[in-house]
Amino acid sequence: MNLFVALIAGTLFGFGLAFSGMTDPANVIGFLNLGGQWNPSLAFVMLGGLAVTIPAFQLLIPKMEKPLQAKIFAEPNKVTIDLKLVLGACLFGIGWGLSGLCPGPVIAGIAYLDWDLILFATVMLLGMYSGTWLARFLPVSD
Amino acid sequence: MLVNGRVAGVSGLLYRSFSDPRRHYWALLFLAGLCLGTGIHLWLSGQPAPKFDQPLSTLLPAAFLVGVGTRIGNGCTSGHGICGIGRLSQRSIVATGLFVGTAIVTVFVRSGFGGL
């Protein structure tokens, strides 16, 4: 059942990304290009997402003792702002700005069977493993 | 989240489903769904697939940075941007501000020097 829900959630997400044009890096770079012809579509998609998650996470979840199909809510840390977070977010931002691609649309876009994108996904995964390794050398503040 | 009690961040799911697939079938299925959903859209809409026409000399370093950055910073657009801000997490709000900011600066610098 959990697995089925994960598949459905992923499918909706993938359809939504493609439907809203977010799998096209031109739209993403258009949004980031404040100095040129600005394309606001990403802002609407993001605000649309938040219009669901903010009320759902703030109003619904506190009233639930546990999720419908699992024992606990697995919630990540909310407050620690450390070098890792800042450095990671900045590196990611540069990569995102260069390519117009972030992990969601990359995985979704594998459906387009474009070799450049599949190569991108492979190198991104390589980057993730390198990142895990690098993160061991960064100070942790807990 | 409501049903399975988990936060859906694509970068984290991707990493986990590769590094420890047995414990994360659900993550793998979510990613398969992501691809399936986009495939369904491609099929139903009849629109051509988007073009990924940047040179590999840009694309591949960018891919590496996205990978490293999302791992060190613990999240990407869906994890920090949508789910994290949805949970009103200070970490995620800071992270999202930073990656959107650096991405805007990156595009600005490139359009200034490279002519986008």
Residues A88-128: pLDDT tens digits? 899 999 999 999 998 889 999 999 999 999 999 999 999 99
Crossing angle of helices A115-135 and B56-72, in 10° steps, is 40
Residue B80 sits in which domain range?
A: 10-114
Question: Per-residue pLDDT tens for B45-104?
Answer: 888 888 888 899 999 999 999 999 988 887 788 878 788 788 888 888 888 889 999 999
- At B1 the pLDDT is 47
Work out how many CB contacts closer than 8 A connect A with B.
389
Residue B15 tokens, joined: 């990493």
| B30 vs A contacts (CB less than 8 Å) | 6-7, 9-10, 13
Give percent helix, percent strand, percent coil of chain B, each to the nearest 5. 75, 0, 25
Rg (CA), chain A: 18
Does residue B61 fall inside a structural domain? yes
Rounded to an integer, the average pLDDT of B12-22 is 79
How far away is chain A from the Cα of B81, in angstroms, using its nearest Cα?
8
How far away is chain A from the Cα of B60, in angstroms, using its nearest Cα?
6
Does residue B19 fall inside a structural domain? yes
| B95 vs A contacts (CB less than 8 Å) | 85, 88-89
Does residue B38 fall inside a structural domain? yes
Rounded to an integer, the average pLDDT of A17-32 is 90
Query: Is there a contact between A54 and B86 if contact means CB atoms under 8 Å apart?
Result: yes
| A88 vs B contacts (CB less than 8 Å) | 68-74, 95
Residue B8 tokens, joined: 């859906």
CB atoms within 10 A of CB B47: 12
Asked if this assembly's ipTM is beyond 0.90, the reply is no
| B78 vs A contacts (CB less than 8 Å) | 13, 102-104
Query: Is there a contact between B71 and A68 if contact means CB atoms under 8 Å apart?
Result: no
Rounded to an integer, the average pLDDT of A13-23 is 90
- At A28 the pLDDT is 92
CB atoms within 10 A of CB A56: 14
Query: Is there a contact between B37 and A10 if contact means CB atoms under 8 Å apart?
Result: yes
| B32 vs A contacts (CB less than 8 Å) | 7, 10
List phi, psi (to 5°) of B20: -150, 65
Does residue B56 fall inside a structural domain? yes
Q: Is the pLDDT of residue B5 over 60?
A: no
| Angle at CA of residue B97, ends B75 and B114, nearest 5° | 95
Total domain count for chain B?
1
Does residue B25 fall inside a structural domain? yes
How far away is chain A from the Cα of B76, in angstroms, using its nearest Cα?
7
Which of A3, A124, A135 comes nearest B72 by C-beta?
A135
Which of B64, B102, B112 comes nearest A93 by C-beta?
B102
Does residue B33 fall inside a structural domain? yes
Does residue B1 fall inside a structural domain? no
* Residues sharing a CB contact under 8 Å with residue A108, sequence separation 6 or more, in sequence order: A13, A14, A17, A18, A23, B34, B35, B37, B38
Question: Per-residue pLDDT tens for A32-83?
Answer: 888 778 888 898 898 888 888 888 877 777 667 666 655 555 666 666 778 8
Rounded to an integer, the average pLDDT of B21-41 is 88
Does residue B5 fall inside a structural domain? no
| B17 vs A contacts (CB less than 8 Å) | none
Higher pLDDT, B23 or B113: B23
- At A69 the pLDDT is 56
